[in-house]
Structure 1
Amino acid sequence: MQAATSQEAIRAAIDRLDADIVMSIAARAHHVQQAAAFKRDTNKVRVPARVEQIMARV
C-alpha cells in the first residue's frame, strides 16, 4: 500500500474498498440463498454453529 498524498486520495481508496465490501456481501448473500434452496426445513437455513464458525474465522 502506498501512503496517501491527499485527503481526496484517502477518500477514493476508502470508497473503492467500500465498493468491494458491498459487492462481496452481495455475492455472499446470493450464495446463501442458493445454499438455502438445498435445505428442506426452513428452520435449518440458519445454523448457529455455522455462524460461530464463520465469525471465529474472520
Structure 2
Amino acid sequence: MSELALLQDELFGDAANAISDIKFYPGETQEWMIDEIAETIRKGIEDIRNGGGRDIDLSL
C-alpha cells in the first residue's frame, strides 16, 4: 500500500476522525513525490499521538 493510500485511510477511513475535506498545497517546485509528502504527514500524526507536539491556542 502506498504512503498516500495509508494517509487517506488515516484521514478519511475512520468515521470517528470526522474529517470530510482537506487540501494540501505541494508547493511550486514540486521537488518531492506525493508519497514522500504523505509519509511526512503520517509521521507527524504518529508523533502527536505519542505525546509530541504542543497545544495551539485557537481562541480569538
**TM-score using structure 1 length:** 0.36
More helix per residue: 1
Q: Which has the larger radius of gyration?
A: 1
Structure with the greater relative contact order (CA < 8 A, sep ≥ 6): 1 or 2?
2
